[in-house]
Amino acid sequence: MSFKIVVIGTSLGGLSALKIILGKLPADFLVPIAIVQHRHKESNNTLQELLQEFTSLPIREVEDKEEMLPGHIYLAPPDYHLLVEPGHFALSTDEPVCYARPSIDVLFESAADVYTQQVIGVILTGANQDGMQGLKKIKVRGGLTIVQEPTTAESDIMPEAAISAITVDWILTLENIASQVVKLCHSLRK
């Protein structure tokens, strides 16, 4: 079975966490990655530019109905929920979830609905509970779940919430999250 998407959710401390993970992905990594990083609704595309310095994979902010391409990294734009639909993304301005728009839960739950066991969900550092319900849904639908080791997180609230909600498949440091995702996605290509 091959994975269709890797979804990553993070908040406080997410930029440095994402730099480490994305920096460890090989140039031939083919599974699309969608990321929700909580940020101010006025924020510009600096996040994309900052992260692009650390990976050769193309990073872009999602536009509504954008096609999901292999080997691309997609960022939820500020103030929009990012949803997964079969083969593409959708954006929504529905109410914030867990005080957040974009919401990690919205991304994770839509990915689980569309791709069930072909989803890898990753929760990183963050200072709220967003992502907990979404990760739970990925797990229920048969997808794989990875959470940053809380003691290594800039803010352990989000990882702790996820770990307390479900039996997570892996609890790893940032370096090991990257290699685990690569191992999962690459070993299944053969």
Task: Report the mean per-residue pLDDT for the chain.
Answer: 94
d(CA 10, CA 175): 16
pLDDT at 186: 84
- Give mean pLDDT, residues 22-44: 91
pLDDT greater than 80 at residue 182: yes
Using DSSP's 3-state secondary structure scheme, residue 78 falls into coil
Strand partners, 170: 146
- pLDDT band, very low/low/confident/very high, at 39 (cuts 50, 70, 90): confident
pLDDT greater than 50 at residue 69: yes
- pLDDT band, very low/low/confident/very high, at 12 (cuts 50, 70, 90): very high
Q: What residues are labeled active site?
A: 11, 38, 130
d(CA 34, CA 97): 18
